[in-house]
Chains A and B, each alone.
Chain A
Amino acid sequence: MKKRLYLELENCIGCRSCLAACTQCGGHEERNRNYVYDVNPMVNRQTMPLMCLHCVNPACARSCPAQAIQIHETGAVLSALVEKCIGCQNCTIACPYGIPKFDTEQNLMYKCDLCIDRTKDSIPPMCASVCPSNTLQWLTDEEIENKKKQFNLDNGKWVTSIPYLEGETNVKVNLPGILQGITKLF
């Protein structure tokens, strides 16, 4: 059963477990590849994770002169192949969300690969495995569909991804609380 990463952004409590877990994935060489941002640090403690969304038409891969960024058959957009990346940094400029990281010393780009050696066998990626607040989940399309029914919005605002994103993505993003107008105590 194909599962995908699904984010309910405002559940995030800012614990950064996902960043820590990311460093521990095989092949990540103890560096994390994602981000956790404050939403309005002067006012409240709300945070949101920012992950690679594994675009269906990934700008990073399209801009790479070396074809170093491969797209896996699961749809995951992989990190640069170590022997192919020529260090031009086009991908970092192209990504609409500023995801790929670049190591100048190693002349190598690295980015989220959705823990491909886990997810290709339907094991959740590290971040979703550890997230304690259900911000990052690993769900089938059917389960995502059920969530949609559960948040029965009459304002037509259930949207995963578009229009908050630039294009179709394999990772689905949602903001159920904010869209329903539920006020949270942060």
Chain B
Amino acid sequence: MQAKVAANQKTGKSIDNAFASHFAKSMFLAVCGLVTLSFFGTRMFTHVDLNLYGYMVGTIIFIGGFFYRFIAWGERPPTKIFIKKGIKLLFRKSTPKTSVEHLATYNFIWNRGIYRWTQHILIGWGCILSCFVTFPLVFGWMYFTMDDNGYYSIIAMGIRVITVPANGIIANLSYNALNITAVMVIAGVCMALYRRLKNMQARAEQKFMYDFLPLYMLLLVSVTGLSLTFMNIFLRGAGQPAMSLIHQWSVIITLIYLPFGKLAHIPFRPMSVFARNYREHYAEQSMKGCKVCGDEFVSTEQSKDVVEVLGVNDIEFQTKEGHHLAEMCLPCRRKYRIAQFSGFPIHELKVKEANQNAKG
């Protein structure tokens, strides 16, 4: 909160002021974009599937919430810096590799534990693949036709992409795509819930709205989605209309919730690529030496940016030696504090840090 307030004071605008215009503009552009895409995708609205109307409304509300949340986020001084410099550094050679590792294969979650990685691959890719299938259908960017000759075609943006035998593997995969992804999500969510039972970590610090609700919502979406298929095949469609409504309702609620809770990490995570580029790029440019021991511990740019961000928040850490605390490396900064307590300047002593690795 304070960060936001401070940011406003600096720019001299009220948040509503900056906000209304940014928000309205983004919203307008996004809706125009959707309508245009749908216009072409549906060959001038001749192939609109009105069963999916609820999703359309849901998506539009979602986009509203998304901009609301993220424009406010982007106004925070540290976020602004990373977005601005991140975009500038987007064309580094390492960007594709970093993006894949951070956003698709999640190598860093692997390092947190194989269980956590498997869980996230199942949930994350389950959801992403579902969206790849669902959204184009909803907005009419893609649809399927069955030709008389037993062939089945996928039409995307009005172009026949692929025509396959109606009982072949690809056709079967595409009929069942949403069933497969639903099973992935259910498995992943169950792993996450099981982890909360087994491991206190996953339970600590968390509230129902933040932690459990998104998991239950994902579960509800997947289970109702799967039961649609089940009713189709085994109950000859009995109960379908009601279930279809419940399913739509759950998807819409999840979409609306997304920008505000735990799932808000999905649209925000690409920032981790920005952050990595920022660290790599400025580290190559020039490194900051610790004001006490001279060790290079961070890039000059980041040190400068952090000091500036703290300044915007009215936090000034000037030492009596005349530098900012952020200009000291971490061990020196810790020793410097001990020196403030004890009066003995241990940070100037060339001894290595005492043992910090007591094991439990």
Q: How far is the CA of A178 from the CA of B340 in the complex (A)?
A: 12
Q: Is A35 an interface residue (CB 8 A)?
A: yes
Q: Which residues of B contact A66 (CB under 8 A)?
A: 79, 268, 271
Q: How far is the CB of B256 from chain A (nearest CB, A)?
A: 19
With A21-B360, A48-B342, A84-B265 in contact, do A89 and B310 touch (Cβ < 8 Å)? no
| Binary contact track A127-167/B, C-beta < 8 Å → 1, others 0 | 00000000000000000000000000000000000001111
Residue with the highest number of chain A CB atoms closer than 10 Å, among B305, B342, B351: B342
Q: How far is the CA of A48 from the CA of B344 in the complex (A)?
A: 12
| Binary contact track B254-291/A, C-beta < 8 Å → 1, others 0 | 00000000100100110110111011000000000000
Q: Which residues of A contact B76 (CB under 8 A)?
A: 65, 67
Q: Is A122 an interface residue (CB 8 A)?
A: no
Identify the closest chain A residue to B1 (Cβ). A71
Q: Which residues of B contact A26 (CB under 8 A)?
A: 199-201, 203-204
Q: Which residues 300-319 in B have Cβ within 8 Å of A in the complex? A: 302-303, 305-306, 309-310, 313, 315, 317
Tally A residues with Cβ within 8 Å of B: 73
**Is the pair B265, A83 in contact by a Cβ cutoff of 8 Å?**
yes
Q: Which residues of A contact B337 (CB under 8 A)?
A: 50, 96-98
Residue with the highest number of chain A CB atoms closer than 10 Å, among B204, B343, B349: B204
**Is the pair A166, B317 in contact by a Cβ cutoff of 8 Å?**
yes
Q: How far is the CB of B92 from chain A (nearest CB, A)?
A: 16
Q: How far is the CA of A24 from the CA of B359 in the complex (A)?
A: 9
Q: How far is the CA of A50 from the CA of B81 in the complex (A)?
A: 31
**Is the pair A35, B334 in contact by a Cβ cutoff of 8 Å?**
yes
**Is the pair A82, B330 in contact by a Cβ cutoff of 8 Å?**
no
Q: Is B169 an interface residue (CB 8 A)?
A: no
**Is the pair A94, B326 in contact by a Cβ cutoff of 8 Å?**
yes
Q: Which residues of B contact A81 (CB under 8 A)?
A: 205
Residue with the highest number of chain B CB atoms closer than 10 Å, among A20, A38, A47, A164: A38
Q: Which residues of A contact B335 (CB under 8 A)?
A: 37
Which of A86, A93, A113, A173 meets B306, CB within 8 Å?
A93
With A65-B76, A178-B342 in contact, do A106 and B108 touch (Cβ < 8 Å)? yes
Which of A10, A22, A65 meets B78, CB within 8 Å?
A65
Which of A32, A83, A94, A173 meets B358, CB within 8 Å?
A32
**Is the pair A107, B310 in contact by a Cβ cutoff of 8 Å?**
no
Q: Which residues of A contact B328 (CB under 8 A)?
A: 98
| Binary contact track A87-119/B, C-beta < 8 Å → 1, others 0 | 111101111111100010111100001001100
**Is the pair B205, A59 in contact by a Cβ cutoff of 8 Å?**
no
| Binary contact track A29-59/B, C-beta < 8 Å → 1, others 0 | 1101001111111100011101000000101
With A37-B346, A48-B338, A50-B337 in contact, do A88 and B278 touch (Cβ < 8 Å)? yes
With A40-B342, A40-B346 in contact, do A20 and B112 touch (Cβ < 8 Å)? no
Question: Mostly helix, strand, loop or mixed at chain B's interface?
Answer: helix
Q: Which residues of B contact A67 (CB under 8 A)?
A: 73, 76
With A35-B334, A96-B325, A166-B325 in contact, do A90 and B306 touch (Cβ < 8 Å)? yes
With A39-B342, A88-B82 in contact, do A20 and B354 touch (Cβ < 8 Å)? no
Q: Which residues of A contact B199 (CB under 8 A)?
A: 26
Q: How far is the CA of A156 from the CA of B207 in the complex (A)?
A: 44
With A62-B3, A106-B112 in contact, do A89 and B201 touch (Cβ < 8 Å)? no
Identify the closest chain B residue to A71 (Cβ). B1
Q: How far is the CA of A151 from the CA of B278 in the complex (A)?
A: 51
**Is the pair A88, B275 in contact by a Cβ cutoff of 8 Å?**
yes
With A26-B204, A39-B346 in contact, do A90 and B309 touch (Cβ < 8 Å)? yes
**Is the pair A57, B313 in contact by a Cβ cutoff of 8 Å?**
yes
Identify the closest chain B residue to A118 (Cβ). B204
Q: Is A13 an interface residue (CB 8 A)?
A: no
Identify the closest chain B residue to A36 (Cβ). B354
**Is the pair A106, B111 in contact by a Cβ cutoff of 8 Å?**
yes
Q: Is A16 an interface residue (CB 8 A)?
A: yes
Q: Which residues of A contact B111 (CB under 8 A)?
A: 103, 105-107
14 further contact pairs, Cβ within 8 A, besides A20-B360, A41-B351: A20-B358, A23-B358, A30-B359, A50-B334, A57-B2, A57-B313, A65-B82, A86-B269, A90-B306, A96-B337, A107-B108, A117-B203, A117-B205, A178-B341
Which 5 interchain pairs have the tightest Cβ spacing?
A26-B200, A98-B333, A23-B360, A27-B201, A86-B272
Q: What are some 20 contacts across the A-B interface (CB < 8 A)?
A: A14-B354, A16-B355, A24-B360, A35-B356, A39-B342, A39-B346, A57-B2, A59-B313, A62-B315, A82-B112, A87-B275, A88-B275, A89-B298, A90-B306, A96-B325, A96-B333, A98-B333, A107-B108, A107-B272, A117-B204
**Interface residues, chain A, with chain B CB atoms under 8 Å away:** 9-10, 14, 16-17, 19-24, 26-30, 32, 35-42, 46-48, 50, 57, 59, 62-67, 70, 72, 78-79, 81-84, 86-90, 92-99, 103, 105-108, 113, 116-117, 164-167, 173, 175, 178
